[in-house]
Amino acid sequence: MAFDLTFDPRVEDWRARIAAFMAEVVIPREQAAFEHGVTDELRRDLQAAARQAGIWAPQAPAELGGGGFRFDEVAVLLEEAGTSLLGPLALNCSAPDEGNLHLLHLAAGPEQRERYLKPLAQGRIRSCFAMTEPPPGAGSDPSALATTARRDGERWIINGEKHLITGADGAAFAIVMARDGDGATMFLVDTDTPGWKQAGHARTIDSTTLGGHCRIVLEDVVVGADSVLGRAGEGFRYAQARLAPARLTHCMRWLGAARRAHGIALQRATRRELFGSGLADLGMAQQMIADNEIDLAASRALLWQTSWQLATGAKGTEESSRAKVFISEATARVVDRSVQLAGGMGTSEELVLGRIYADIRAFRIYDGSSETHRMSIAKRAARRVREATR
């Protein structure tokens, strides 16, 4: 037998119900959210409705109340959830909670599962992932990690500064990455621990992320040994284990957003008249429409293949790097063309396109910038050649 790219009927069932949920529940609440901000109240409302609709957390393990889908199936469902900027939040599959949930599922001990993972999976609390630091600390180059964790008997004392910590405002706990001698360790830190200070939001142009992108100061934050996630010294390894799939779930969600943008622009183009013919029939509009269709198809094919590789056991560092660069850039092109196709109102929130355009921009930067991934891809390619020709 050769390939098989058929969906399981259960995947199609969930996909259709997520699509209906977006249309009926989520999209009607977008404009108010754009105008007045995304609030925790809105999150709770939407999440209750999603649970009701039987589409809760498609990516989460069944034993945690999620859909229990395999990662290549998740690709189909998170794309659908991504068609509204509020969709992933509603289904509890948004960053950073989705990635944290995944990591906790891999690495947390029994008590940590009870205390952090379960309520997170149920949407009772939110979390954040505190790795990135202001320059010259950890950013594109994680090895520059500057936050320190000093062991003091049974306790650890954490000091440092983090920035661009997505979702930190309102999070119940953080996964904090800190340098511990030569290695790095991850800690589960309640945000009401003394010494944890939220020092303001970055004023970035995206606006639909609940909890913002915060600057955090950690000043003599004292945590117990039970706060170590997994094992001490394994921080970089856990970061890798979180990053490859997290990159791809970003791709899934943004692919949905890009498809939405294309759909809005296309619908508008089929209705408008310009220079005496339908806008969608003008050659330059056709070029934008076709390029969108092509970029979406190529992104989806690469995403499905890569997700299948991870689902069937590949570590997928290189594969997910390639997919992340391609899809973050292809979806950006799709959204940009959609804005252009929509004309004067293309940059508006009313048409949604303006919001997607602003919010998607950082995707080429976070979770490894395009340049960082390209460097890593090229190094691996060169290494393979050098090893083969030695």
Within positions 206 to 225, which residues make up the interface with a copy of itself, using CB under 8 A?
Answer: 206
Identify which of residues 231 and 380 has a Cβ nearer to a copy of itself in the complex: 380
Nearer to a copy of itself, 98 or 318 (CB): 318
CB of 92 to a copy of itself, least distance (A): 21
Instruction: State the Cα angle at 117 between 112 and 119, rounded to 5°.
Output: 115
Told to check if 364 binds a copy of itself by CB under 8 A, we report yes
Amino acid at site 104: L
Given candidates 63, 153, 192, 205, which one binds a copy of itself under the rule CB under 8 A?
205
Cβ-contact 349, 273 below 8 angstroms: no
Q: Does residue number 355 form part of the binding site for a copy of itself (CB under 8 A)?
A: yes
Which of 217, 202, 210, 252 shows the shortest CA–CA distance to 90? Answer: 210
Q: Which of 325, 334, 338, 368 binds a copy of itself (CB under 8 A)?
A: 325
Q: Confirm or reject binding of residue 204 to a copy of itself (CB under 8 A).
A: yes
Name the residue type at position 193.
Answer: T
HSE at residue 85, side-chain half, CA atoms within 13 A, is 25
Q: How far is the CB of 83 from a copy of itself (least distance, A)?
A: 15
Q: How far is the CB of 195 from a copy of itself (least distance, A)?
A: 24
- Out of 39, 52, 240, 286, which residue is the one contacting a copy of itself (CB under 8 A)? 286
Q: Is 250 in the site for a copy of itself (CB under 8 A)?
A: no
Peptide bond into 110 cis (omega under 30): no
Q: Binding to a copy of itself (CB under 8 A): which residues in 12-51?
A: 34-35
Stretch binding a copy of itself (CB under 8 A), from 22-30, 169-177, 227-235, 319-327: 319-327
Burial class (CB in 10 A: 0-12, 13-18, 19+), 350: exposed
Pick the binder of a copy of itself from 96, 139, 160, 245 (CB under 8 A). Answer: 139
Pick the closest to residue 209 from 168, 174, 242 (CA basis): 168
> CA 13 → CA 17, 79, 151, 317, distances in Å?
6, 14, 50, 31
Look-up of token digits 């119940």: 172
Site for a copy of itself (CB under 8 A): how many residues?
A: 100
313 binds a copy of itself (CB under 8 A): no
